[in-house]
Amino acid sequence: MANAFSLNIAVCIKQVPDSSGLRINPGTGNLDRSNAQNVINPYDLFALEAASDLKKSCGGTITAVCMGPPQAESALREALARGADKAVHVCGPAFSGSDTWATSLALASTVLLLDQVNLVLCGKQAVDGDTAQVGPGIAAHLNWPHIAFALRIRASENVLTGECSDDSGNFSASFPLPGVVTLSRGHYPLRRTSLQDWSKALQAQIRQLGPEEIGLEPDQLGIKGSPTRVRSIKTILFTKKTEFFRGSAAQAAEKIESFFRKKSSTPFAASPVRLPDPEKNCRIFVTGEIRKGRITPVTYELAAKALELSDEVSCGSALVFVTPASEIPVEVNPPPPADKVFVLQAPSAHPLDIVSLTAALADFFTHARPDIILGGATAWGRSLMPRLSVLLRTGLTADCTALTIDGKTGDLLQTRPAFGGNILATITCNRKPQMATVRPGVFKEAFAGHWPDQVCLPVPDSIIDSGITIMETSVPETPGNSLAGAAAVAAGGMGLGSDGFKLLEEFSILSGAAVGASRSAVDAGWAGLHCQVGQTGRTVQPALYMAFGISGAVQHLAGMQSSGFIISINRDPESAIFGVSDLAIIGDCKEILRALITRLRNRKNGSPEWKDS
Amino acid sequence: MNARNVLSALKAQPPDLRTAQNYVSPGCHERYLCDESRMAGFPPARMWFPTDTAGVSAALAWISECNERAAVSGARTGIAGGAVPYGAENLLSTERIVYKPMLIERNGEWFLKTGAGMTLADIQAFMRNRDSFPDHAPAGLYYPVDPTETSASVGGMIASDASGARTLFYGSTRIWVNRLTVVLPDGSILDLERGKFFAQAGKFYLKSPNGVVDDCAFSGVRIPGTKHVAGYRLSTDMDLIDLFIGGEGTLGVVTDAELRLTAAPECLYVCLFAGVDHPAAEFAACLKQRMPLLALEYMDRASMHLLRNFRDSASAASGVPDLTDWDLSVYYVEIPLDKGNARERVDILKSALTDSGLDPADSWAGFSPSYLDEMKRFRHALPERVNQLIADTGKSLPGLTKIGTDMAVPDHALPAMMETYSQGISREGLQSVTFGHLGNGHLHVNILPRSMEEVEKGKALYREFARYAVSLGGSVAAEHGIGRLKRDLMSVQYNPDEISEMLKIKRFFDPQFRLNPGVLFA
């Protein structure tokens, strides 16, 4: 209790269907929610634990805030059992149909109403929508700084520091309070709630707030207050034709190897649809991501898509970067397919200081007034784009898998998978710019013949004064190959065992496939958190996904079922994973893995076909 | 003779091997020779896998024609050797009698018609998927009996009158069986509905398909007021359907069943808590008095030690939640709730703990099904660990088995019974863990022998415990049944007159002892 200041923390929670109760109906291939109960979004539990941890060292109060239907009361009761001192339920028919923009506005307005809240904590994303937009959105509405995807947080002397980790390494970010942090599944163990905790939680009063109390007008709420609309919904039936294979381990290994060669090669980059033309009026923009001087692959993918869309509506497309330098180094980066490249030069802005970057971009876009802005759904983009969308007072659709232009209205049709991945929703935005993020690997990357003109615009220091300090601490601890953007992933589950994971690592080194793991395998300590594939881990869509000893819980399937080609190896012919697999091998995954490794070792020089062919 | 005391059997299928042969599987399949008891059976000459009542009827008619015997086999999840073929030329499996269950409504009550080969997991999955239900089916409709092993079959659960943790609230399988199709040893078929056919003054009649009427007269036997599955529950005015429930397949083969359904509680509060040297039995009585409980389970301190060692050696991969700070015995309760009474009941539980000197903070509680799942995983880890330990010790000592008791006593006698358990164990210097259905006065003492000498000591102690349980008005076999392994306990439970009354019933339905030789009776 050495600190003089006190923390008043609001933890925003959401009630979601429990993914452990979800099954894929084998008859229809649909998601069967009939047995799924409502629970607190798993990431929000980490936010609650982080809040309790801070309270232990700094004192203060924790208020759980939930916007949701009447039955969300049970989520608030559980939050009270899990350490919240007070609970606030934002509830009313007027809120229903809110998109992430309207939700973050309502939550931000609620936070302002609470007594001296100086820190808002959220889970990094809700597992039913997976957008990760509400946390940064709240921060933008409050005009507070934010840190997204923190693993651990601490506070001292009015400064909050979050430890983060992304594909480029580990770093810490600090800001003076007030501010917003979203929590990943990090270092906080979940408590066991006791009878005592529940008794207290059930006695507590829950404060109910309606639209009037939080000071919002009807047109700021629910469907009216939401810039995005679901235009149509399409159910995808699992029409996979699974080939079943039984045989010796050696035969299975041979089979896998032949598919590996066929499927895991990275496709050649596509050619852009047209030549860049610096004379065009740029109305479609891509927020470019640049790391240590190199443009990320997803930026090329989106540039290609933006150019394609711009051709349909006869305008130009541009890339915009915020960097300390005045131009993008052309010698190390192939030319992106864009009509123009804007470089917002901000010498004092750290490339991981999302708040400053967003401020610079918002200022630029307010003047440029584009129709469409696309960004990559990387950790960086998922933190930046939602904040930007609020600053530009428009909606954002996360993780789109298809983007097209409506021929009649000229609207951007944004298609994204919904919960469990077997529903595709097409979404439009009734404000401009229309904004969307896209996961890496969804679109094909393309390169232009020569570098487009670079236009450098200096950013005044006053715009980028976020107060955030970044300290880069280390390179990623990921051994071997990173899951992000991997062409092939070899993942293991409970059926593989801890010694099996050693084989998997060896296979990964020999083959170039990245190591993945199911949640239970990560829980068992056989693989690191960064390897976890699934709803609470990473979503991957490599050209080839190999599942060794993974039974196929829905939460795992959600993270990998859109992979190009899926091979699964399991002893149990009834495994759920076989339902989404192209090739189902029934057998002992360890033996097959050993046979595969032997095959690979026998190929001298590590076999170039197996690596980046 | 009147409509209520005459069972009319339908004609058997003709004993035509050609029809029946469709169901005979060539060869002998190893896995049908044993069940969870680890008892080893003798390979029968033929294995039958009929798919419906007519098939079972044809098979039994043929077996009867050939003057042979049949061992009945379900999902082989029993632990008393009831499904292990022994002294029979034929094995008759009901596992292929499967079809899509049917939901039936009658006078506002709901029933599920299902084949004997369906598993509990199948039924639970069917009940979860409301898509196929009529619109007016009430919410939360479910089959409430919850044997731990969900791969158990409907036929097996009925034959052994299975129970589970929630038997405390819902009773055992028996009262949830509304109607049965039973094939008698000669292949004739009975359709029995609860409430239709009764013994009257110790007498009932069976009319065979060719019109011959036989009568059976018997006296009742003493039935303990606890959970109890040992022989036939004979009383002079009994509902005759009850002969076949818990009859362990010795009188006929159940092929179809209509199970009664009920509405699940709106929500469930589950709580695990630690008890410090508190007399478990008195505490159980106090809890049960204060509010309805779906389940009240117990694990003694030795069980917790065993789990802890297991967790320490197998790390997180064991799936056992970390409760290493509890060096205590552990209680588990399930409380049915609705929105209106949640606060009240949680408080009652809290004050029950406080009044007994327990700390409500020393507990693990929650509402959602995820809590339930995790706690179940915790509880199930113990029997698994026990089996593993025995298997490990057994590597150097073949023939070593655990000795798991299955006695239940009335609530008032539980303190005395528990005292006897712990005295007996320490007197003989044996190692044991005790856990189970505290709320039903039904704890399993699992003796973990370290030598063959201890096996013998353990077996003797088992009989001693069993005799004491009976003297307290309890049961020697509360849920596992008698099967082939525990036949000697019949004479501990019943006097010779009672056993001969049961034999009368057996001879009446199965004069040649064709069905399940070696089960219940030698």
Contact yes or no for B363 and A25 at CB 8 A: no
**pLDDT higher at B19 or A398:** A398
pLDDT of residue A239: 60
> Mutating which of B358, B363, B372, B376 best tests the A interface, going by the most A Cβ atoms within 10 A?
B363
- The rounded distance, in Å, linking the Cα atoms of B11 and A479 is 72
pLDDT of residue A608: 43
Confirm if B52 and B97 have CB atoms less than 8 A apart. Answer: yes
CA distance A361 to chain B (A): 43
Select from B217, B221, B250 the least CA-distant residue to B235.
B221
What would the CATH number be for the domain defined by A282-465? 3.40.50.620
Is A35's pLDDT higher than 80?
A: no
Contact yes or no for A498 and B317 at CB 8 A: yes
Q: Provide the greatest CA pair distance for chain B.
A: 71
Q: Does A524 touch chain B (CB under 8 A)?
A: yes
Q: Does B128 touch chain A (CB under 8 A)?
A: yes
Contact yes or no for B129 and A34 at CB 8 A: yes
- State mean pLDDT over A435-456: 89
**pLDDT higher at A361 or A399:** A361
Domain A7-226 - what CATH class?
Answer: alpha beta
Which residues from chain B sit within 8 angstroms of residue A19, using beta carbons? Answer: none
A273 falls in which pLDDT band (50, 70, 90)?
Answer: confident
Contact yes or no for A524 and B353 at CB 8 A: no
> Mutating which of A13, A24, A195, A501 best tests the B interface, going by the most B Cβ atoms within 10 A?
A195
Select from A382, A431, A419, A489 the least CA-distant residue to A135.
A382
- The rounded distance, in Å, linking the Cα atoms of A548 and A521 is 11
- State mean pLDDT over A110-139: 92
pLDDT exceeding 70 applies to what percent of chain A? 89
Correct CATH for B1-263+484-513 of 3.40.50.300, 3.30.1180.20, 3.30.830.10, 3.30.465.10: 3.30.465.10
Domain with CATH 3.40.50.620 in chain A: 7-226, 282-465
Three-state secondary structure call for residue B158: helix
Q: Does B370 touch chain A (CB under 8 A)?
A: yes
Is A21's pLDDT higher than 70?
A: no
Is A459's pLDDT higher than 70?
A: yes
Q: Does B100 touch chain A (CB under 8 A)?
A: no
Q: Does A30 touch chain B (CB under 8 A)?
A: no
CA distance A500 to chain B (A): 14
Residues whose CB is less than 8 angstroms from the CB of residue B158 and which lie 6 or more positions away in sequence, other chains included: B116, B173, B177, B180, B244, B245, B254, B257
Q: Does B205 touch chain A (CB under 8 A)?
A: no
- The rounded distance, in Å, linking the Cα atoms of B16 and B117 is 23
A47 falls in which pLDDT band (50, 70, 90)?
Answer: very high
Tokens of A454: 């670079």
Size of chain B, expressed as the number of residues it contains = 522
**pLDDT higher at A516 or A536:** A516
pLDDT in tens, A69-103: 998 999 999 999 999 999 999 999 999 889 999 99
Q: What is the 3-state secondary structure (H, E, C) of A411-423?
A: CEEEEEEEHHHCE
Contact yes or no for B346 and A198 at CB 8 A: yes
| Least confidently predicted of A227-241, A381-395, B36-50 | A227-241
Q: Does A20 touch chain B (CB under 8 A)?
A: yes
**pLDDT higher at A364 or A608:** A364
pLDDT of residue A479: 44
Number of H helices, E strands in chain A: 13, 33
- The rounded distance, in Å, linking the Cα atoms of B477 and A331 is 83
- State mean pLDDT over A101-117: 95
E strand residue ranges, B410-464 = 432-437, 442-447
Contact yes or no for A193 and B130 at CB 8 A: no
Other C-beta atoms closer than 10 Å to the C-beta of B204 total 25
pLDDT of residue A20: 61
Angle between helices A100-113 and A379-391 (to 10 degrees): 70
Residue A336: half-sphere exposure toward Cβ, Cα within 13 Å:
36
CA distance B102 to chain A (A): 18
Which residues from chain B sit within 8 angstroms of residue A25, using beta carbons? Answer: 129
Which residues from chain A sit within 8 angstroms of residue B343, using beta carbons? Answer: 202-203
Question: What is the CA angle A554-A559-A560, rounded to 5?
Answer: 100
Is A610's pLDDT higher than 60?
A: no
Confirm if A325 and A343 have CB atoms less than 8 A apart. Answer: yes
Is A242's pLDDT higher than 60?
A: yes
Domain with CATH 3.40.50.1220 in chain A: 234-265+478-606
A278 falls in which pLDDT band (50, 70, 90)?
Answer: confident
Is A588's pLDDT higher than 80?
A: yes
Q: Which fold has domain B267-471?
A: Vanillyl-alcohol Oxidase; Chain A, domain 3 (3.40.462)
* A 198-237 residues with CB < 8 A to B: 198-199, 202-203
Residue A519: half-sphere exposure toward Cβ, Cα within 13 Å:
19
Q: Where are the domains of chain B?
A: 1-263+484-513, 267-471
pLDDT of residue A19: 67
pLDDT of residue A268: 52
**pLDDT higher at B39 or A163:** A163
Tell me which residue in B316, B362, B364 faces A525 most closely, judged by beta carbons: B316
Query: What are the pLDDT tens digits along chain B (522 aa)?
Result: 888 999 999 887 776 666 666 677 766 678 898 888 878 888 898 889 999 999 999 999 999 999 999 999 999 999 999 999 989 999 999 999 998 899 999 999 999 999 999 999 999 989 987 777 888 888 889 999 999 888 999 999 999 999 999 999 999 999 999 999 999 999 999 999 999 999 999 999 999 998 999 999 999 999 999 999 999 999 999 999 999 999 999 999 999 999 999 999 888 888 888 876 567 888 888 899 999 999 999 999 999 888 887 766 654 445 556 665 677 889 999 999 887 888 999 999 999 999 888 889 888 999 877 788 788 878 878 887 888 888 888 888 887 888 999 999 999 999 999 999 999 999 999 999 999 999 999 999 999 999 999 999 999 999 999 999 999 999 999 999 999 999 999 999 999 999 999 999 999 999 999 999 999 998
Confirm if B447 and B402 have CB atoms less than 8 A apart. Answer: yes
What would the CATH number be for the domain defined by A234-265+478-606? 3.40.50.1220
Contact yes or no for A525 and B346 at CB 8 A: no
Residue in chain B lying closest to A75 (CA): B368
> Mutating which of B269, B291, B367, B374 best tests the A interface, going by the most A Cβ atoms within 10 A?
B367
Confirm if B201 and B236 have CB atoms less than 8 A apart. Answer: yes
